[in-house]
Amino acid sequence: MTLPASFSSYIIVKATKVDKKDIKRFYGNQRYGARYIGQDQCYLVKINNIIVACAIISAGQENGNFWLLHGLVTDKAHRHKGIAGLLLRTIMSESEVTKDQVNLTAYPKIICFADNALSSFYLKNHFILYNHCHEIALLPFEFKQRLTRYREKQTNLHCFLYSANVALSA
């Protein structure tokens, strides 16, 4: 499935099972330990049939309103070309049709855990800092646990939230 990216020369595709080995190889080559965690969708950019960027969005095991964005990685040779932002915007604009033929945002609330150094990137792409204890308490248990574990090793890790309802009304 090719997704619209008319303002860019890059084409983003939603991965299928056939792509799984290539995706794992891509992350391995980038020295990034991404893996599927449950109810995942993966979006990727290929150039000459080679993956140059990838992002995974997961509902986790609870499948609530929150989706976890993880594994947003661009190959070093292709960084600073807007590919990561394009991947984000594609994921945020993804919609699904219900049985009543209503278009709904596929991912109403997207969270991600990122180093403070990436704050400006996420804020520029319509995420907000979602880092206060009372906000973290609203996350699905699985994602709260994950954030706590990650912060044990990465003290500069922050939680960011994209809410489709807020973005649509802005």
Q: What is the pLDDT of residues 14-55, one digit of tens each?
A: 999 899 899 999 999 999 887 776 688 999 999 988 999 999
Q: Provide the domain count of the chain.
A: 1
3-state secondary structure string across the chain: CEECCCCCCCCEEECCHHHHHHHHHHHHHCCCCCCCCCCEEEEEEEECCEEEEEEEEECCCCCCCEEEEEEEEECHHHCCCCHHHHHHHHHHHCEEECCCCCEEECCCEEEEEEEHHHHHHHHHCCCEECCCHHHHCCCCHHHHHHHHHHHHHCCCEEEEEEEHHHHHHC
Residue 151 predicted with pLDDT over 80: yes
- Averaged pLDDT of the chain: 86
Which has the minimum average pLDDT: 61-75, 93-107, 111-125, 140-154? 93-107
pTM recorded for the entire structure: 0.85
pLDDT, position 103: 59
| 104 contacts 98 by C-beta, under 8 angstroms | yes
Residue 2's pLDDT is what?
A: 44
86-127 confidence digits (pLDDT tens)? 999 999 988 776 666 565 788 889 999 999 999 999 999 999
Which residue has better confidence, 84 or 167?
84
Instruction: Please report, for the domain that includes residue 106, its CATH number.
Output: 3.40.630.30
CA distance 92 to 126: 10
Who's near 31: CB < 8 A, 6+ residues apart? none
Domain span at 49 = 2-169
**pLDDT of the residue at 44:** 95
Q: How confident is the model at residue 164 (pLDDT cuts 50, 70, 90)?
A: confident
Q: Is residue 58 within 8 Å of 27, Cβ to Cβ?
A: no
